[in-house]
């Protein structure tokens, strides 16, 4: 059809014009602007059409979070989520036992007093500081709450990458893991030995969090290598799950929905052809 | 227009109802027997697609409302609760947020189609203006909906856009305070935006009803831009022909929509909106949703705030004057070779402005936005009025049947369809 061909031409022309113009216009950026390199795209078990979380990886990531990150960062999710389907796969007893190791400030009771009690599965992870001010006073800055961090951080994809990111091309498109990639990169970005607050991938390079992870810091019981690379991969995967615990069911349902829709569209198309078969149009 | 078949009630209850409220014969005349030009292409299915999206947005939105809390300290958490704990809440919320984008995507195609084929020309001016009103209501609804999750971009987007009203001379600041319900965007603002976000879609439904009514008075335009002369030769009954064709459009559109919901649900959103609103911390770049970007680029390309605001609103308002700005006697772009070139330049300027709206407002980006802004307005105030006077158009067919005959080249099929048109086939 001539019409659709023309749209193709226009799309190609716009694409080419932006591709040529973009770096030229970009060059006008103010001098001294510290451009951080784009993190590399990692392989994640939860990416792509059939992505699912790797349970042992989430359990390792949780261990890293519990032993390292949780000293400063709040994670506002209930303990029970750790045992939900599509997550790290802890058993109900494991979740209950884990929750009981935390002390929850509760109340008031019938006498009007506040009291401490062991945690239950329905409780939320208690924050490491009573309030953001206390965190800022102790650490110099408020560490971000981590339940959504894998979805709330980003880096510029630029043209034409952002176009391909949306397309159903495995490996190249369906790019929804910008956050985990950036977490992984930042944990690897402490490249200046003399400055623990300098990070290659952090916007502006100055990061309040000093290098948090190093080789051998956390013990793994499942034989996975105890390296910085493995830790950052595992904790990034854990945070990706924490940010979107419904990812597995979404992709599973999505696949069925897509198969159904292709079938429906095909049937409706041929029914339409039949209806119009005796009409010149 | 009169229908291709008549509604004859046989059932006793239907007869009884017809004598009191002829709603069944009305529905039959409007959606079954309604004569539809037979040369419509798939670009005409976007009206049906938009009706579908409007209903989808209302249904998902009403259910989301049952779980959402419009209070500034609870709103963000309630959205996360929907995402994590409400059964199928993640699907409802992703369907609703991506549904807004799909709605705008479809409406932009619908509008470009109207411009290409001259669907705004006499006698369809009122139909077109009602469409512009729907577009405005959609923009208000989309903007206020984006504020409800009360993330960083919700808050700062609301701050930037409501601040535009402070550019109005003398009363601007008072109007802004009145809109906010306080001295900054805060809980009262969220409350009223929620109330209006729930109200406006039903106003859209009402204007859509008028839009469809006006459509059914004048009949549909068509790719050849000639009026229907003989409904038996030029038209087919709406059902099953247009119903089936619209269904094909909706089915394929659903594939695109579900691709976003299930595989790239956060592609069109800003990552900053997963950070709770913080009035003490401004994001590095405040960027509206993609469907506002062309207008945002126009706003920022003008250094004077008031002039920028006027230009932005003018970019939308000028659409309403399109029926009188276009002076050409020929309706369809199909027979207007010069218009077609300018049309595609206009489309490209819109896409280019959209890209620039997402970029920081500095250096070459501002200059590029100014140039494309001139192209955008130039299409309306210079090209369209002058083209009608100077353009050499190609011959327009005498009727839809002639146009179809010229294209298919087979007289027999036309004759056959003319004979069989009055009946509805299953």
* pLDDT of A260 over the 60 cut: yes
Could you give the CA distance from residue A70 to residue A147 in angstroms, rounded to a whole number?
12
Q: How confident is the model at residue A170 (pLDDT cuts 50, 70, 90)?
A: confident
List, for chain B, all residue ranges whose pLDDT scores fall below the cut of 70.
1-5, 410-426
Using DSSP's 3-state secondary structure scheme, residue B241 falls into: helix
User: Shortest CA distance to B346 belongs to which of B320, B319, B310?
Assistant: B319
Helix axes B364-378, B305-317, angle to 10 degrees: 40
- Domains of chain B plus CATH, in order, are 38-228+236-420 (1.20.810.10)
Using DSSP's 3-state secondary structure scheme, residue A15 falls into: helix
* pLDDT of A30 over the 90 cut: no
Yes or no: say if B109 and A7 are a contact pair by the CB < 8 Å rule: no
Supply A262's token pair: 């292709």
User: Shortest CA distance to B115 belongs to which of B407, B387, B400, B405?
Assistant: B387
Give percent above pLDDT 90 in chain A.
80
With a CB-CB cutoff of 8 Å, which residues 125-154 of chain B face chain A?
A: none
* pLDDT of A9 over the 70 cut: no
Q: What is the pLDDT of residue A98?
A: 97
B416–A269: do the CB atoms touch at under 8 Å? no
Smallest CA–CA distance, residue A226 to chain B, in Å, is 31
Kindly list the residues from chain B whose CB atom is less than 8 angstroms away from the CB atom of residue A272. Answer: 244-245, 247-248
B83–A246: do the CB atoms touch at under 8 Å? yes
Average pLDDT, chain A: 90
Question: What are the pLDDT digits (tens) for A208-255?
Answer: 999 999 999 999 999 999 999 999 999 999 999 999 999 999 999 999
Of residues A30, A253, A278, nearest to B262 (C-beta): A253
Q: What is the pLDDT of residue B423?
A: 42
Phi, psi dihedral angles at A225 (to 5 degrees): -60, 135
Could you give the CA distance from residue B137 to residue B57 in angstroms, rounded to a whole number?
14
Report chain A's terminal Cα–Cα distance, integer Å: 14
Find the radius of gyration of the CA atoms of chain B.
24
Q: What is the pLDDT of residue B83?
A: 97
Could you give the CA distance from residue A238 to residue A245 in angstroms, rounded to a whole number?
10
Smallest CA–CA distance, residue A191 to chain B, in Å, is 25
Could you give the CA distance from residue B55 to residue A90 in angstroms, rounded to a whole number?
41
Tell me how far CA of residue A103 lies from CA of A82, A98, A126, A143, B148, in angstroms: 18, 11, 8, 22, 34
User: Shortest CA distance to B162 belongs to which of B184, B133, B145?
Assistant: B184
Please give the residue of chain B at the shortest CA–CA distance from A175.
B264
Using DSSP's 3-state secondary structure scheme, residue A117 falls into: strand
Smallest CA–CA distance, residue B262 to chain A, in Å, is 5
Could you give the CA distance from residue A200 to residue A205 in angstroms, rounded to a whole number?
6
Q: What is the pLDDT of residue B359?
A: 92
Yes or no: say if A149 and A141 are a contact pair by the CB < 8 Å rule: no
A148–B274: do the CB atoms touch at under 8 Å? yes
Kindly list the residues from chain A whose CB atom is less than 8 angstroms away from the CB atom of residue B83. Answer: 244, 246
* pLDDT of A22 over the 70 cut: no
Kindly list the residues from chain B whose CB atom is less than 8 angstroms away from the CB atom of residue A244. Answer: 83, 90
Kindly list the residues from chain B whose CB atom is less than 8 angstroms away from the CB atom of residue A12. Answer: none
Q: How confident is the model at residue A280 (pLDDT cuts 50, 70, 90)?
A: confident
Kindly list the residues from chain B whose CB atom is less than 8 angstroms away from the CB atom of residue A33. Answer: none
- Contacts for B163 with CB less than 8 Å, ≥ 6 apart: B176
B262–A258: do the CB atoms touch at under 8 Å? yes
A271–B244: do the CB atoms touch at under 8 Å? yes
Could you give the CA distance from residue A134 to residue A147 in angstroms, rounded to a whole number?
20
Please give the residue of chain A at the shortest CA–CA distance from B81.
A77
Give percent above pLDDT 70 in chain B.
95
């Amino acid at each position: 059809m001539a019409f659709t061909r023309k749209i193709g031409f226009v799309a190609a022309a716009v694409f080419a014009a932006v591709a040529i113009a973009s770096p030229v216009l970009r060059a006008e950026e103010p001098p001294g602007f510290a451009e951080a390199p784009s993190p590399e795209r990692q392989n994640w078990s939860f990416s792509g059409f059939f992505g699912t979380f790797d349970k042992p990886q989430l359990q390792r990531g949780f261990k890293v979070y519990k032993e390292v990150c949780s000293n400063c960062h709040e994670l506002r999710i209930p303990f029970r989520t750790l045992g939900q389907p599509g997550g790290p796969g802890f058993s109900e007893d494991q979740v209950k036992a884990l929750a009981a190791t935390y002390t929850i400030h509760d109340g008031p009771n019938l006498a009007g007093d506040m009291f401490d009690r062991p945690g239950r599965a329905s409780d939320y992870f208690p924050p490491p500081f009573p309030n953001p001010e206390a965190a800022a006073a102790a650490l110099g800055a408020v560490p971000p709450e981590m339940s959504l961090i894998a979805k709330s951080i980003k880096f510029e994809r630029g043209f034409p990458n952002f176009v391909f990111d949306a397309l159903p091309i495995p490996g190249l498109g369906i790019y929804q893991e910008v956050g985990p990639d950036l977490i992984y990169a930042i944990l690897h970005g402490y490249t200046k030995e003399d400055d623990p607050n300098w990070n290659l991938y952090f916007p502006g390079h100055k990061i309040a969090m000093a290098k948090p992870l190093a080789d051998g810091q956390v013990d793994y019981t499942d034989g996975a290598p105890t390296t910085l690379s493995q830790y950052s991969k595992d904790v990034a995967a854990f945070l990706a799950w924490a940010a979107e615990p419904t990812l597995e069911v979404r992709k599973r349902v999505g696949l069925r929905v897509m198969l159904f829709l292709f079938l429906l569209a095909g049937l409706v198309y041929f029914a339409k052809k039949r209806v119009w078969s005796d009409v010149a149009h | 227009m009169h229908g291709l078949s008549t509604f004859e009630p046989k059932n006793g209850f239907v007869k009884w109802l017809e004598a009191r409220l002829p709603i069944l014969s009305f529905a039959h005349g409007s959606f079954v027997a309604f004569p539809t030009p037979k040369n419509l292409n798939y670009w005409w299915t976007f009206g049906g697609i938009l009706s579908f999206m409007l209903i989808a947005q209302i249904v998902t939105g009403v259910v989301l409302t049952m779980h959402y809390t419009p209070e500034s300290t609870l709103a963000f958490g309630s959205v996360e609760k929907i995402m994590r704990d409400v059964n199928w809440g993640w699907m409802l919320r992703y369907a609703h947020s991506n549904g807004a984008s799909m709605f705008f995507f479809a409406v932009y195609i619908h509008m470009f189609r109207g411009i290409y084929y001259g669907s705004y020309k006499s006698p369809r001016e009122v139909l077109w203006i009602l469409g512009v009103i729907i577009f405005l209501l959609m923009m208000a609804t989309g903007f206020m909906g984006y504020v409800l999750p009360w993330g960083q971009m919700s808050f700062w987007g609301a701050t930037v856009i409501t601040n535009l009203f402070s550019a109005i001379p003398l009363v601007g600041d008072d109007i802004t305070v009145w809109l906010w319900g306080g001295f900054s965007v805060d809980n009262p603002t969220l409350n009223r935006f929620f109330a209006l976000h729930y109200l406006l879609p039903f106003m859209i439904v009402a204007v859509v009803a008028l839009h469809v009514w006006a459509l059914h008075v004048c009949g549909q335009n068509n790719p050849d831009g000639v009026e229907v002369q003989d409904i038996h030769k030029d038209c087919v009954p709406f059902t099953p022909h247009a119903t089936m064709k619209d269904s094909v459009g909706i089915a394929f559109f659903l594939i695109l929509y579900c691709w976003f919901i299930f595989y790239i649900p956060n592609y069109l959103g800003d990552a900053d909106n997963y950070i709770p609103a913080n009035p003490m911390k401004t994001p590095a770049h405040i960027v509206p949703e993609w469907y506002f970007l062309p207008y945002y680029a126009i706003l920022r390309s003008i250094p004077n705030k008031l002039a920028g605001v006027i230009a932005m609103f003018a970019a939308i308002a000028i659409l309403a004057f399109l029926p009188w700005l276009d002076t050409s006697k020929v309706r369809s772009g199909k027979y207007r070779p010069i218009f077609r070139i300018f049309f595609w330049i206009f489309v490209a300027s819109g896409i280019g402005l959209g890209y620039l709206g997402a970029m920081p407002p500095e250096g070459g980006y501002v200059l590029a936005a100014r140039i494309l802004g001139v192209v955008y307005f130039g299409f309306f105030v210079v090209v369209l009025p002058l083209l009608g006077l100077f353009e050499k158009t190609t011959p327009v067919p005498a009727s839809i049947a002639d146009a179809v005959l010229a294209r298919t080249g087979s007289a027999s099929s036309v004759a056959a369809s003319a004979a069989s048109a009055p009946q509805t086939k299953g």
